[in-house]
Amino acid sequence: MAGWQIALLVVGILLGILLVLILLNVKIIGQTEKGIIERLGSYRVTWGTGIHIKVPFFDRLAHRIDMREQVKDFPPQSVITADNVTIQIDTVVFFCVTDPKLYAYGVEEPVRAIEFLSATTLRNIIGELDLDSTLTSRDIINEKMRSILDAATDPWGIKVNRVEVKNILPPRDIQEAMERQMRAEREKREQILLAEGKKQSAILIAEGNKESAILNAEAQKQATIKNAEAEAQRILNLRSAEAEGIRMVRQAEADGIRAIKEAGADKAVLTIKGYEALKDVASGQATKIFLPNNLSDISAVAATIAETVKEKK
């Protein structure tokens, strides 16, 4: 083989090795990642999204860090409340990386560090609360844990966005006691509601009876008034008829007297008419006779009486 052929073969091998080295040192960083590059063991640069080529044998991609928000569901932790009740609390932490360099070099195993920090923080918070407050104060516990964890993880390049208490498990005997208490409370509310319903029913019935009695009394009152008005109207009509009859009699007498006067009747005729009226009176059942004032003398009266007695015989 000629020398130039050997040289060409060596150049080809070198170029192949160079190409392989280049391909092995080309790195692609995704949209949601950051790359931490170390040179000879020390931090050099943080790569963003895109294609990058590192120096062979000197640089290395030490960490690929996910910049998305991450969710970690940590195992339940045993904590003791202020009233000495041991409970199990399960928490969920939502966090994201804000500084890739601090996240890579700030602490060993950042997620595990957050887990331990969450457990100790939870014990401190629950140790100040009794069991009832723990069960009813999840929002307060969540906010306190988030604030404490966020401040503690700042040097690690981590931002804690939310902390949620997923589950609280008291001991079995405490759960049974709470269930009995809840049943008793429900039964109490049931009895109260039944009593309230009976009370309202009795009130409505009493009000109905009262309104019915008032309406009946009002109806009787109106009927009495109507009857009294009808009776008064009847009496008024009778009196009006009687008065009308008297008026007509008086009118007839007045007409008769006026007719006699108009006919020219003298005193003698009027005396005779008076005698006839006295005769009619004497023929009745009356036992008393009132003498008229216009009799001139006792003889006329005596003659009148004699005539009356003779007529009766």
Tracing tokens 């050997």 back to the chain, one arrives at: 6
Angle (CA) 66 71 72, round 5°: 110
pLDDT at 143: 92
* DSSP letter string, 153-170: HGGGTEEEEEEEEEEEE-
Q: Extract the runs of DSSP E, i.e. beta strands, from the chain.
A: 26-29, 33-39, 42-47, 50-53, 59-66, 70-73, 77-80, 86-97, 158-169
Architecture of domain 70-170: 2-Layer Sandwich (3.30)
Angle (CA) 221 222 223, round 5°: 90
Q: Tens of pLDDT along the chain (313 residues)?
A: 567 777 777 788 888 887 888 888 888 898 889 999 999 888 999 998 889 888 888 888 888 999 999 999 888 888 888 888 888 898 999 999 999 999 999 888 899 999 999 999 999 999 888 888 888 888 899 999 999 999 999 999 999 999 998 888 888 877 777 778 788 888 888 888 888 888 888 888 888 888 888 888 888 888 888 888 888 888 888 877 777 777 776 777 677 667 666 665 555 555 555 555 555 545 545 455 445 554 444 445 445 544 544 444 4
DSSP state of 46: E
DSSP state of 194: H
Structure tokens at 206: 């009493």
Structural domain spans, the chain:
24-67, 70-170, 189-263, 266-313
Q: Cα(270)–Cα(276) distance, rounded to whole angstroms?
A: 10
Helix-helix angle 110-126:138-153, to 10 degrees: 140
Element (H, E) at 110: helix 110-126
Q: Extract the runs of DSSP E, i.e. beta strands, from 98-183.
A: 158-169
3 state SS of 109? coil
pLDDT at 269: 52
pLDDT at 272: 55
Structure tokens at 232: 């008064």
pLDDT at 81: 87
Q: Cα(115)–Cα(97) distance, rounded to whole angstroms?
A: 16
Q: Residue 113's closest CA among 138, 149, 70, 82? A: 149
Element (H, E) at 62: strand 59-66
Predicted TM-score (pTM) of this structure: 0.55
